[in-house]
Amino acid sequence: MDIKSLTATGYKPHELNIFNENDIKVQVIKEAIKRRLLPYVQAGLEWIVISGQPGVEMWAYDVIHSLKEDYNIRVAVIPPFVNQEKVWNEERQNKYQKMLAQADFTKPLSEKEYENPRQYQTRDRWLIEKTDGALILFEEEYGGSPKYFYRLVRQYQEEQSYESIIINAFELDDVAFDLQESGQLKQNDDKGD
């Protein structure tokens, strides 16, 4: 299967007990995302499509943005509705606005503001139908917010050819070990709250 577009999603920071962007877990997650995406990018992946949610989506954006120097990869940010960031803290709002400004394409699915949870279901279906695969940071036993997206992917795969790339806790442990062994893991005393 020729993969030209992928979506990336997964846990929100609080679901991973991450309350500070300098947490070393963020570094590990970004490295895991990079390791998984790089072979696709090198094989001709053209687009990463995200909705811009905090956590895995923003970290995937950071990874792709760093790869743009060496690869012809583009990012689309497709929020489910306008002003999705208005309930986020100021730091996340600023990061989101910067992401929108730097994205290669951005357009909300709905020109309305938040109305109901169905807008998230519409977003998830749209992301799956418009891409060739999904990278998901997800642990089946844990569940959490990505479980709905994961279920939709599994249902879609019953009818369509669709790539799913799952990053789980074992993979994150391996990446953390590799980074630690190579001296690349930047320990940070500022754990944040």
Taking only the tens place, the pLDDT of each residue in 70-120 is: 999 999 999 999 999 999 999 999 999 999 999 999 999 999 999 999 999
Share of the chain above pLDDT 90, in %: 92
Q: Where are the domains of the chain?
A: 5-181
Share of the chain above pLDDT 70, in %: 96
Q: What does the pLDDT average to over 126-136?
A: 98
Contact partners, residue 35, CB within 8 Å, separation at least 6? 175
Give the model's confidence band at 185: pLDDT under 50 very low, under 70 low, under 90 confident, else very high: confident
pLDDT at 189 over 90: no
Q: Quote the tokens at residue 145.
A: 């917010």
pLDDT at 193 over 60: no
Q: Which SS3 state, helix, strand or coil, does residue 27 take?
A: helix
Identify the CATH class of 5-181: alpha beta
Local structure of residue 145 (DSSP, 8 states): T
Taking only the tens place, the pLDDT of each residue in 11-48 is: 999 999 999 999 999 999 999 999 999 999 999 999 99
